[in-house]
């Protein structure tokens, strides 16, 4: 039974991270701009955020659930603001300037050592400001029959570990793939990658702000 729950958690965590969203964009962009570890830490920040929501749902912390449901619009607004800031930093930050190199020449010196902690925290914030993730976990837990910590603490813990491992495996694959392509991306393409990433992040952020203010009628899990 526990093995089955672990496998379900792994699968759910993997597919939860799979949709292309701002974290995926940041993971690829940071890997190409700064190195594989920056992309990996960006992905793991989101994986920890997913695991946190999984723990809230799995252990039935009703007070936290109630607070999240009551403040979900504010959380979306906060997430949208974070995305807009990241979009601006992607264009005007050190990444954009450090990636410039003569056309046709691979920019081997474009690595800029930014804080790995900041990479992790920024994507963790994006994950925890997306309360719709909690709804997805609640559906999974209802399917598995795990709704309260007192009923099955062990199973709930295994599920959370599985979700984190599944989500983390996707981000490891993404950062590894982007890292393998990094030597072939010169400064010109890196500059364009930064601009495209900024546009995508701005779009997600703008949508999140609209949804937080109740302008859009249907909210889906788009800004992950």
Q: What is the pLDDT of residues 168-211, one digit of tens each?
A: 999 999 999 999 988 887 666 667 777 787 787 788 778 777 87
Q: Within a domain: residue 223?
A: no
DSSP the chain: -HHHHHHHHHHHHHHHH-S--HHHHHHHHHHHHH-HHHHHHHHHHHHHHHHHHHHHHHTT-HHHHHHHHHTHHHHHHHHHHHHHHHHHHHHHSHHHHHT---TTS--TT------HHHHHHHHHHHHHT-THHHHHHHHHHHHHT---TTT-HHHHHHHHHHHHHHHHHHHHHHHHHHHHHGGG--HHHHHHHHHHHHHHHHHHHHHHHHHHTT-SS---S---
Q: Within a domain: residue 42?
A: yes
Average pLDDT, the chain: 75
Q: Which domain holds residue 59?
A: 2-212
Is the pLDDT at 161 greater than 70, yes or no? yes
Q: Which residue has the higher pLDDT, 176 or 155?
A: 176
Q: Within a domain: residue 224?
A: no
- Predicted pLDDT of residue 149: 45
Closest CA to 26 of 204, 164, 205, 201: 201
- Predicted pLDDT of residue 207: 76
Which of the four pLDDT bands, split at 50, 70 and 90, describes residue 219?
very low
- State how many domains the chain has: 1
Q: Within a domain: residue 170?
A: yes
CA 51 – CA 162 distance, rounded (Å): 9
Q: Within a domain: residue 168?
A: yes
- Predicted pLDDT of residue 165: 94
CA 35 – CA 110 distance, rounded (Å): 10
Q: Within a domain: residue 164?
A: yes
What mean pLDDT do residues 40-44 have? Answer: 93
Q: What is the pLDDT of residues 65-89, one digit of tens each?
A: 677 667 778 877 887 887 788 878 7
Which of the four pLDDT bands, split at 50, 70 and 90, describes residue 13?
confident
Q: Within a domain: residue 60?
A: yes
CA 2 – CA 145 distance, rounded (Å): 13
Q: Within a domain: residue 149?
A: yes
Which of the four pLDDT bands, split at 50, 70 and 90, describes residue 108?
very low
């Amino acid at each position: 039974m526990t093995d089955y729950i672990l496998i379900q958690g792994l699968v759910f965590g993997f597919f939860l991270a799979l949709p292309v969203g701002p974290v995926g964009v940041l993971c690829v962009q940071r890997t190409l701009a700064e190195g594989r570890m920056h992309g990996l830490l960006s992905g793991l920040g989101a994986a920890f955020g997913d695991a946190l929501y999984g723990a809230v749902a799995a252990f039935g912390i009703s007070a936290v659930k109630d607070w999240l449901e009551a403040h979900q619009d504010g959380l979306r607004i906060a997430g949208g603001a974070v995305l807009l800031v990241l979009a601006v930093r992607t264009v005007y930050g050190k990444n954009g300037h450090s990636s410039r190199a003569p056309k046709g020449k691979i920019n081997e010196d474009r690595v800029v050592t930014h804080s790995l902690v900041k990479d992790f925290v920024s994507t963790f914030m994006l994950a925890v400001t997306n309360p719709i993730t909690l709804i997805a976990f609640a559906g999974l837990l209802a399917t598995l029959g795990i709704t309260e910590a007192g009923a099955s603490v062990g199973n709930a813990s295994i599920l959370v570990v599985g979700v984190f491992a599944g989500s983390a495996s996707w981000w490891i694959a993404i950062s590894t793939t982007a890292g393998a392509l990094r030597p072939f991306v010169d400064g010109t393409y890196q500059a364009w990658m930064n601009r495209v990433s900024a546009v995508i992040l701005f779009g997600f952020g703008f949508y999140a702000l609209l949804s937080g203010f109740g302008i859009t009628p249907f909210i889906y899990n788009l800004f992950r």
